């Protein structure tokens, strides 16, 4: 009888211990799963990139846009308006007559190949700007020779001649063609020795700027 009671007691205790262990394991498993979820949610591999701080302007937004400014700090040679020359009928012309206007002053000769080569380009420019720009194509040849050239070529361009000793120092040159462009403000803004495509976009833009009193 005593043995039966002891067996029953030990069986009950053993069952209680087993049940207790099962509960502990279940709770431990749930705790581990909870920890795994927490760790998964905080994993650096799923980190969302922080939103852009819109309160801080970008580099582009910080650039201050300013309108283009004409560089007035550049030094230009001043034009000399004391130059005297003649039209093909022998009438005296003074450069000072055109003071305050944009002037295209070209030194050339009828025997000069590069001079003749650039005449069509000059004519294109002249046809577009002759009402606003003064074009002076000047040679130190005799007027009769220039007249014969014009009769043969029929360019319609405004030709003049000058005496070699009358040219101011600022316009003296060793090569032809040589061209000077004078601004309204009396500055030589361009000097070119040799032929050039005068009717290109660059030269047209220069003329346009000078007509607006931009000395580049």
Could you tell me the residue range of the domain that residue 143 belongs to?
78-211
- Report yes or no on 198 lying in a domain: yes
CATH code, domain carrying 161: 3.40.30.10
Cα–Cα distance, 11 to 24 (Å, whole number): 20
Write out the two tokens for 172: 């003296």
User: Contact 82/96 with Cβ under 8 angstroms?
Assistant: yes
Q: Structural domain tally of the chain? A: 1
Mean pLDDT of the chain, nearest integer: 78
Quick check: 43 pLDDT over 50? no
Q: What pLDDT band is residue 11 in, cutting at 50, 70 and 90?
A: low
Report field, pTM of the whole predicted structure over 0.85:
no
10 domain-assigned: no
Task: Please report whether residue 144 resides in a domain.
Answer: yes
With both helix axes pointing from N to C terminus, report the angle between 201-211 and 113-129 in degrees, rounded to the nearest 10: 50
In a domain, 47, yes or no: no
Supply the pLDDT for residue 213.
Answer: 86
Inside any domain, residue 135: yes
> CA-to-CA distance for 193 and 171, rounded, in angstroms?
11
Q: What is the pLDDT of residues 81-140, one digit of tens each?
A: 999 999 999 999 999 999 999 999 999 999 999 999 999 999 999 999 999 999 999 999
């Amino acid at each position: 009888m005593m043995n039966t009671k002891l067996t029953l007691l030990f069986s009950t205790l053993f069952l209680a211990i087993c049940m207790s262990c099962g509960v502990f394991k279940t709770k431990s498993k749930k705790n581990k799963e909870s920890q795994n979820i927490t760790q998964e949610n905080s994993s650096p591999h799923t980190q969302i990139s922080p939103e852009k701080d819109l309160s801080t302007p970008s580099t582009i937004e910080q650039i201050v846009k300013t309108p283009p400014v004409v560089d007035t700090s550049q030094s230009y040679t001043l034009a000399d308006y004391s130059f005297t020359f003649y039209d093909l009928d022998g009438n005296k012309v003074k450069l000072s007559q055109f003071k305050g206007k944009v002037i295209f002053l070209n030194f050339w000769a009828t025997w000069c190949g590069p001079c003749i080569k650039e005449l069509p380009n000059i004519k294109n420019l002249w046809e577009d700007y002759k009402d606003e720009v003064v074009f002076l194509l000047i040679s130190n040849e005799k007027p009769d020779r220039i007249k014969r050239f014009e009769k043969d070529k029929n360019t319609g361009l405004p030709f003049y001649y000058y005496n070699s000793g009358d040219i101011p120092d600022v316009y003296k040159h060793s090569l032809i063609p040589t061209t000077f462009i004078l601004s309204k403000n009396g500055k030589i803004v361009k000097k070119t020795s040799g032929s050039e495509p005068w009717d290109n976009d660059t030269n047209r833009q220069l003329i346009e700027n000078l007509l607006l009193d931009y000395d580049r």
